[in-house]
Structures are given as C-alpha cells and as structure tokens.
Amino acid sequence: MTLTPLELTRPASTTDALLRRLVARVPGSSGATWKLAEVYTGETLVELPQSTPADIEQAFAIAREAQRKWAATPLKQRLAVFKRAHAIFLDNARTVADLIQVESGKNRRMAIEETCDPPMVMSHYLKRAAKLLAPVRRGGPVPLLTTSTEIRQPKGVVGIIAPWNFPFATGISDAVPALMAGNAVVLKPDNKTALSPLYGVQLLEEAGLPEGVFQVVCGEGPDVGPTLIDRADYVMFTGSTATGRMIGERAGRNLIGCCLELGGKNPMIVLSDADLEAAVRGAIFGAFGNTGQICMHIERMYLPESSYDEFKNAFVAKAEALDVRAAYDFGPDMGSLVSVDQMRRVKSHVEDAVAKGATVLCGGKPRPDLGPAFFEPTILEGVTKDMLCGVTETFGPVVALHKYRTVEEAVALANDTDYGLNASVWSGDVHAARAVAARLESGNVNINDILATAYAAKGTPSGGVKSSGVGARHGDQGLLKYTDVQNMAVLKRQVMGPRPGQDHEKYVKGMLSGLKIMRKLHIR
C-alpha cells in the first residue's frame, strides 16, 4: 500500500463564491447552519442552512405551484430541457467531480464515474418517456360501444431523500424521470454531501427547468423527514434499511407510494473455472471501489477450495499494493471514508470480528496520518454470523473470504442473509454462471462483473429484494412509478341492463352467451 502524507490544494473550481451561491438555494429561516466540511482535511467549506418544518412546507407550496405549469407544458418542451441538460452536465463534469470529491472524500475516478450517471439516465428516458407517457387506448368491456384509455398523470410533488455515498447520482438521477413525467421535486440530500446535488439543480435550471420546480431542503433526517413525507405525493428514498423501514411506515400511513433502495451484504461467488486474474481484479473494485461505500459492493466472497489459496494470495498482494491517499487527481486507487463517524463504524466491525476470532489478512486499521476518516483496505478470514460484519452491512473497505466445497453450498451461503441487493458470479462458462445466478435471492446479479453492468443498464429495473428494498429505479417502472393512472372510459351507447320491457332471464341469457362469444373471439 502506498501511503503518502497529506499535501492538498482544494480544486480551483470549488471557490467560496460558488459554494455560497449553491447553499443560498436552501431555505433556513431559523438561521441554524451545519458545517459542511472537506473530508480530506476536516476543514469547514461552507455553512449549510438547516430547513425548519415551516421552510419545508413553504418549499412544497412553491413546488406545487410550479408543478401545475410544468405539467401543463407540452412533453416535447419538457424533454427539450433534458436534451440541453445532457450536454451541460457533460460540459461541467469536472466541476461536479470536484464538488463530489471535496464533500465525500472518494477518489477521482469514482467521482468522475458518478458524474456520468444523470446523463445516462437522461439519455435513456429521452428515448423512452414519450412512449411511456402517451395515452394507451384499451378495449372497453363492450366491443365498439365502449373504450377505456390508460392515461398517465404526474403524482404531483415527489419527495426524494438521498444518501451521501453517491450524492449527485441519487439526488439528480432519481429526479430526472419524475420531472420528465411532469412532477415537481423536493430533494433532501445528506447534510455532508449537499453541494453536488445543489450544483446539479443549478445546471438543470441553466438547461431551462423552470425555477421552483426543483426545491432542495436540508437538515438531519429525523428533523426534515416527517414534514417532507407528510407533504409529498410520493417518496423516493435511498439509504439504509433501518431508515427505509421508517420511511415506508410513514408513507404507508399517509397512503402514498414509495420506492425504497436500501442496503446490501452482497456476495461474490467464484466458480472453479473462472479466470482468476479477472476475478481478483473485479474483487479489488468490488471490495474497495468508492472506499467500500457502494450499496452494490461486495462484502462476502465465496471461493472454491481448489483455488482458495491462489485467489487469496493474489487478492491480498493487490490490496496491499493499492495507492490509498487524499488527492484531487487520478493518482489514488482509494480515497477516504465519508466521515469520522463512518470510519468508527467500520473500525468497530473489524474490532468485533477480530475479538470473536477472525483473522486480518491485510489492513484493519484507521489511517489518521492520511486524513481524519481514512481506513485501510481490509481482508478478513474466519468471519462468522455471530460477528457484526458477518450479518450486517459494514459499508467500508472490508471484505470476508470464505471457502466452499460444492456449488450448492456456495449458493446456500450467498443466500444466507436478510439482504438481497446485488450478487456477482464469476465463471468461464456463462451458461453455468446463469444457472447459479437464477438461484440467488438478489435483485441484481452481475456475471463476470461486480455491479456496473447491471447498474448502467438503464433499460432494466434495478432494485433490491428481501430487506434491500421495495420497488426499483431504471426501466419503465423507474418512470411510471412517478405517475398515477387515470382510466378514462367512454360509453357510446348504453347496452348494459335489460332493455325497457325485456325479460330479465332473456337479458341474462344474452349477456352470458355474449361473454362466451367474446372469450372465443379473444375479446376482453
């Protein structure tokens, strides 16, 4: 592992003037602020206003007013905003990456990759939205005399609650289909990472999104969450399973829909015929990409007995050679954890595992010499289910290696978890890997990849099963979930019920034989 002392200059684009302009968008009538810090140094970057319940109510009132006009704007014009936004987002990708890096501490490569997500989502729904939102004429109950048309109406104002690990992607990408469908959005990013989503809103407005349609409120989750959920017509939440349960309960009580994208304890299964070199390369990204703070990243690896030692030695050697440090260039392979709190959580998981008998094969310690929230890439062996990191998501650069004897055993071990977000299967035989994948209880399975192939496939819904979530983003449902269906039915001539003077028995006979004929003619 290359360990270099801290020598940093903040990216030039993140001027104090820009940061102040961004946070000025956040309502905070009480004057209370939160010190948003540069992760690598712990120095305060800007004072982030904290929104009171009254501020949140006001943000919803503004959004609701703006939404009426926005929904009445022809779809073609609404979509034109996102065509322009696509270009503007790409032109400003470097500034976005600068903001993501200062507020999250991730390395440059991950920050740049994150900037690509909203444009990819825009591209996908620019192709698909017009078809999804067009009225669909369905047959009515009586052929020729009735019609029924499925009409998609925007929900109204969508509340989005986003986490800190991909603040720009989760804050902006999930808003794109909601806005295209004619909704307004009120976003609550995490306090730690509000800058990049605020910049995303600014870019959308530069592209022509009317002011007021996209509001941002800030504050601690328990302070902002209740008012936000009580005012919203739909909630899109990304975060931990524990918080997701609370959001889901409140949304249920309010009889509004919600989509919950939650945590994982994702397994990687290496089959005996896998290309080990490729699998080890994948494992490095799976365990340590984004400093182990990707919801779909790998925390459990299942390796065949036959190649366990070979894989382990190569994996440990590569992990030890990783360049871990704070830098705003493309040098480091891994950056910091997001905060000292998160570092303490990761440390407590490793200490608990070691105290209960796990072995540290590499890493295992915080690195305060590199920055306040750095933790070494850590590989453990001998992790069991009585350990914290054996059952709950660690969300840091910590992975456990396990041996398996049969594929049956590997599948059973991979499924032995409450979570079901992502899994990764490696094999030289895609057919065999697909057969294993089909038996995994997981919303996403990547074959010969860790996560990017599934997540970047914007045409396919992506979500978790079991305790990893409800609903999905991407795919048709990633946009349709932000709409209500109106069933607009037209009766051209009344034929239901007996005609005046008609005998009831005759009417019933006629109706029943009519149903038989319709069934034979395949008429609904």
Catalytic residues, by residue number, are 261, 295
DSSP letter (8 states) at residue 510: H
How far apart (Å, rounded) are the C-alpha atoms in residues 137 and 51? 44
Please pick, from the candidates 50, 51, 95, 243, the single residue that binds ligand NAD as defined by CB under 6 A. 243
Q: How far is CA 244 from CA 161, 347, 470, in A?
A: 10, 24, 9
221 binds ligand NAD (CB under 6 A): yes
150/137 Cα distance (integer angstroms): 6
- Distance, in Å, from the CA atom of 402 to the CA atom of 361, rounded to the nearest integer, reads 13
Q: How far is the CB of 191 from ligand NAD (least distance, A)?
A: 7
CB of 246 to ligand NAD, least distance (A): 5
CB of 454 to ligand NAD, least distance (A): 11
The residue (of 435 and 457) whose beta carbon lies closer to ligand NAD is 457
**What H or E segment, with its residue span, contains residue 223?**
helix 221-231
Is the Cβ of residue 179 or residue 337 nearer to ligand NAD in the bound state?
337
* Total count of residues recorded for the chain: 524
The nearest distance, CB 180 to ligand NAD, in angstroms, is 20
The only residue of 158, 262, 379, 398 in contact with ligand NAD, by rule CB under 6 A:
262
Question: Out of 119, 182, 225, 304, which residue is the one contacting ligand NAD (CB under 6 A)?
Answer: 225
At residue 393, what are phi and psi to the nearest 5 degrees?
-65, 130
> Does 353 interact with ligand NAD (rule: CB under 6 A)?
no
Q: Candidates 161-169, 198-206, 344-352, 446-454 — which segment interacts with ligand NAD by CB under 6 A?
A: 161-169
Cβ atoms of residues 337 and 376 within 8 Å: no
Euclidean distance between CA atoms 410 and 408, whole angstroms: 5
Contact between 261 and ligand NAD by CB under 6 A: the answer reads: yes
Which residue type is seen at 352? Answer: D
Q: Is 161 in the site for ligand NAD (CB under 6 A)?
A: yes
| Contact status: 469 vs ligand NAD (CB under 6 A) | yes
Q: Closest separation between CB of residue 161 and ligand NAD, Å?
A: 5
Asked if residue 163 binds ligand NAD (CB under 6 A), the reply is yes
Is 167 a binder of ligand NAD (CB under 6 A)? no
Q: How far apart are the C-alpha atoms of 296 and 281, rounded to whole Å?
A: 17
| Subset of residues 354 to 393 that bind ligand NAD, contact rule: CB under 6 A | 393
Minimum CB separation of residue 86 from ligand NAD in Å reads 22
The answer to whether 388 and 348 are in contact (CB under 8 A) is yes
- Binding to ligand NAD (CB under 6 A): which residues in 111-130? none
The least distance separating ligand NAD from the CB of residue 289, rounded to whole angstroms, comes to: 13
Could you tell me how many residues of this chain bind ligand NAD (CB under 6 A)?
28
Residue 303 binds to ligand NAD (criterion: CB under 6 A): no
Q: Which of 184, 283, 295, 326 binds ligand NAD (CB under 6 A)?
A: 295
**Nearer CB in complex with ligand NAD: 165/483:** 165
Per-position x/- string for 427-466, each x denoting binding to ligand NAD as judged by CB under 6 A, each - no binding: -------------------------------------x--
Based on the shown chain and the rule CB under 6 A, indicate whether residue 93 belongs to the binding site for ligand NAD: no
According to CB under 6 A, which residues from 26 to 85 bind ligand NAD? none
Any contact of residue 421 with ligand NAD (CB under 6 A)?
Answer: yes
CA angle (199 as vertex; 31, 49 as ends), nearest 5:
10
DSSP 8-state code for residue 449: S
- Contact, 284 vs 454, CB < 8 A? no
Stretch that binds ligand NAD, among 26-34, 258-266, 298-306, 364-372 (CB under 6 A): 258-266
Contacting ligand NAD (CB under 6 A), which of 121, 160, 162, 269? 162
Phi-psi sector, 395: left (phi>0), alpha (psi -120 to 50), beta: left
CA angle at 48 for the pair 46 and 49, rounded to the nearest 5°: 145
The span from the CA of 341 to the CA of 412, in Å, is 33
Query: Any contact of residue 396 with ligand NAD (CB under 6 A)?
Result: no
Cα gap 20→24, rounded to integer Å: 6
Residue from 164, 199, 285, 288 in contact with ligand NAD (CB under 6 A): 164
- Going through 213-357 in order, the beta strands assigned E by DSSP cover 214-216, 234-238, 257-261, 266-270, 298-304, 323-324
Inter-residue long-range contacts of 447-452, CB under 8 Å, 24+ positions, other chains counted: 448/274, 448/278, 448/282, 449/282, 449/424, 450/268, 450/282, 450/283, 450/285, 450/286, 450/289, 450/296, 450/297, 450/298, 450/424, 451/286, 451/294, 451/296, 451/297, 451/422, 451/424
Closest CB 49 distance from ligand NAD, rounded Å: 15
The distance of closest approach from Cβ of residue 490 to ligand NAD in the complex, given in angstroms and rounded to an integer, is 41
- Residue 430 main-chain phi, psi, to 5 deg: -60, -35
Positions 168 through 207 that interact with ligand NAD (CB under 6 A) = 170, 188, 190
- Give the nearer residue to ligand NAD in terms of CB position, either 184 or 260: 260
Which segments of 416-462 does DSSP mark as H helices, in order? 430-438, 452-456
Binding site for ligand NAD (CB under 6 A): 161-166, 170, 188, 190, 221-222, 225, 238-240, 243, 246-247, 261-264, 295, 393, 395, 421, 464, 469
